[in-house]
Amino acid sequence: MRDGAGGRIMPEEVTAGVSSIVDLSRALAGIAEAVAPSVVRVEARGRLPASGIVWSAEGLVVTADHVIEDDEHIRVGLPDGAVVAATLAGRDPTTDLAVLRTDARGLRPAVWTDPHRARVGHLVVSLGRPGRTARAALGMLSTVAEAWRGPGGAVIDRYLQIDRRLPPGFSGGPLAEGGGQVLGLNTAGLLRGAVLAVPAPTVGRVVETLLAHGRIPRGYLGIGAQPVRLPAGLRQALGQESGLLTVSVEPGSPAERAGLQLGDVLLRLGETTVRHPGDLMAVLGADRIGATLVARLLRGGTVQEVAVTVGERP
């Protein structure tokens, strides 16, 4: 309250405000303290080290793929200050995830949580360990959306974007919610101009596949393509505004073996209409490797169909 004489703030009002700020401060510190033992330093590039998240007590660490520039001389700085050598168990650039294997034991794995509970406006804490000690940065979820397909064609289970740039060395570290659990792995390398968190379900799926196979199987045609608008007459006849112009065909690729040529405009692959590269990537999942699909294309003004057998990306 304010008194009637001078409009001053009364003591009880000051006390209430301080109490709420102190409680928030303590809660944020509690989040950082709960998650920090699961955050490690990743030394795999010449400049500032990055961060990683303990995946298992047996020495597995998950981090951002783009921070692994030297995959033969990787070191991991542990929460207790020890530094151990690490090997690359597998990597997937399309989700910007990599798994490292160390001989460390007794580590504390992060506790992950369902990202579907996240809401725009939720306060979140990003953690990193670019040096010896863990560091924290407060942010807010600025965008939360459904599953989406990344630039490399991978399905990301949830779109989680925070409202600030990551401090140096925080890529590969965790994004924690109010309960001290990890929503996802922070990265500035997945989508240009955006700081995203790869959500927990995506991380789990990719880590399991990398540990089993060392890579993520992806379908492959072997073409370079860019969107092109179709001529007016064809747009009406085909019921399609655009297609993919073939600008390169790799020697020995499935596309070359099928007879695709420079200048072909790809209209459909299998049952999927392709208007931009994301449509094509959506068709080329691991389940399509080895499958023969009919490619509908425009060549010299004439619609043609050819059969192409999907290969596996090298």
Catalytic residue numbers, as ranges: 66, 96, 171
Sign of CA dihedral 245, 249, 253, 257: positive
Angle at CA of residue 288, ends 286 and 291, nearest 5°? 145
Q: What is the dihedral of CA 169, 173, 176, 181, to 10 degrees?
A: -150
Q: How far apart are CA 175 and CA 162, in angstroms?
A: 9
What is the token pair recorded at 181?
Answer: 């659990």
| Strand 265-269 to 182-187 pairing | unpaired
Specify which residues 266 forms β-bridges with: 244, 297
Pull the structure tokens for residue 258. 């099928």
Q: Which phi-psi region, left, alpha or beta, contains residue 263 (left: φ > 0; alpha: ψ -120 to 50)?
A: left
Q: Provide φ and ψ at 240, rounded to 5°.
A: -145, 130
What residues have CB less than 8 Å from 279, skipping those under 6 apart? 244, 272, 273
Question: Taking the alpha carbons of 45, 50, 53, 54 in that order, is the dihedral positive or negative?
Answer: positive
